[in-house]
């Protein structure tokens, strides 16, 4: 089974359903011989771990080859989200292929299902991939490499969210189910602001009675990446 592969690659995302902030896609490469150690460390689906445990595991997992890609709110508003995620998955795998070299060709890639993967298989062949490609629901619960990727994606996105809070003062978790987040978004829009951290195409905005247009609003603050130019974006192969 997995021990026939030179490398086990897991891919997962964090932030798909959020109203605020980016989507972070992460891919990590481990060896079949690493599975037992990662299980002993407590690596599992990031949603089942508290922030402290995720932070601890991230300091360990970052020693393995990994790659991360961020999808910005402005792009989410312009394009199909599944298409964006498929592109992001390809980008992290392409970068990981550069990092691990020939091992990539015969590896097993497992992706936590996010939507249709129309072109990913053929794009991977363009990278010389000849291994096994799996897209599975709840892969973060059933494959240790996907669980590891979920921890990296969630930890990095949480760090970025904390920076956004310090810049924009937004409240809550950033998800549309959070009343504090909704109240903050409503206050910002009532003031005629258009913080670039909000996904304006989300039905939540229309449900609140707002129709955001480029005129009559003003962009506030710098973008997140401007603030992170010498911070998070320079760490550990984050692109």
Domains of the chain, by residue range, sit at: 2-159, 164-227
Instruction: Decide: residue 86, CB within 10 A, 0-12 exposed, 13-18 middle, 19+ buried.
Output: buried
Q: What is the CATH number of domain 2-159?
A: 3.30.420.10
Q: Render each residue's pLDDT in the chain as its tens digit; 239 residues.
A: 445 899 999 999 999 999 999 999 999 999 999 999 999 999 998 989 999 999 999 999 999 999 999 999 999 998 899 889 999 999 999 999 999 999 999 999 999 988 777 788 889 999 999 999 999 999 999 999 999 999 999 999 999 999 999 999 999 999 999 999 999 999 999 998 889 999 999 999 988 888 755 444 443 444 444 444 444 333 333 33
In this prediction, residue 220 carries a pLDDT of: 41
Q: How far apart are CA 28 and CA 54, in angstroms?
A: 15
Q: Which of 162, 163, 167, 181 is nearest to 221 (CA)?
A: 167
Nearest to 8 by CA among 121, 100, 123: 100
In CATH terms, the fold of domain 164-227 is: Arc Repressor Mutant, subunit A (1.10.10)
Among residues 188, 197, 238, the alpha carbon closest in space to that of 21 is found at: 197
Give the per-residue pLDDT at 62.
Answer: 95
CA-to-CA separations, 135 to 31, 94, 140, in angstroms, rounded: 19, 17, 11
**Identical fold, 2-159 and 164-227:** no
Burial bucket for residue 138 (CB in 10 Å: 0-12, 13-18, 19+): exposed
């Amino acid at each position: 089974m997995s021990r026939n592969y030179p490398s086990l690659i897991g891919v997962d995302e964090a932030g798909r359903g959020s109203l605020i902030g980016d989507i972070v896609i992460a891919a990590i490469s481990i060896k079949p011989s690493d599975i037992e150690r990662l299980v002993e460390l407590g690596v599992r689906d990031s949603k089942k771990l508290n922030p402290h445990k995720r932070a601890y595991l991230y300091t360990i997992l970052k020693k393995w080859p990994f790659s991360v890609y961020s999808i910005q709110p402005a792009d989410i508003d312009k394009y199909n989200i599944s298409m964006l995620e498929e592109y992001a998955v390809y980008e992290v795998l392409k970068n990981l292929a550069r990092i691990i070299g020939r091992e990539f060709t015969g590896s097993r890639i497992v992706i936590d299902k996010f939507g249709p993967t129309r072109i990913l298989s053929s794009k991977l062949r363009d990278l010389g991939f000849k291994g096994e490609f799996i897209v599975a629901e709840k892969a973060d619960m059933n494959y240790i490499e996907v669980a590891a990727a979920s921890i990296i994606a969630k930890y990095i996105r949480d760090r970025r969210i904390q920076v956004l809070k310090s810049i924009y003062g937004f409240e809550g978790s950033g998800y549309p189910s959070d009343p504090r987040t909704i109240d903050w978004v409503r206050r910002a829009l009532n003031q005629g602001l258009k913080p670039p951290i909000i996904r304006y195409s989300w039905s939540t905005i229309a449900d609140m009675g707002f129709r955001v247009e480029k005129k009559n609003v003003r962009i506030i603050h710098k973008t997140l990446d401007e603030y992170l130019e010498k911070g998070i974006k320079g760490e550990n192969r984050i692109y």
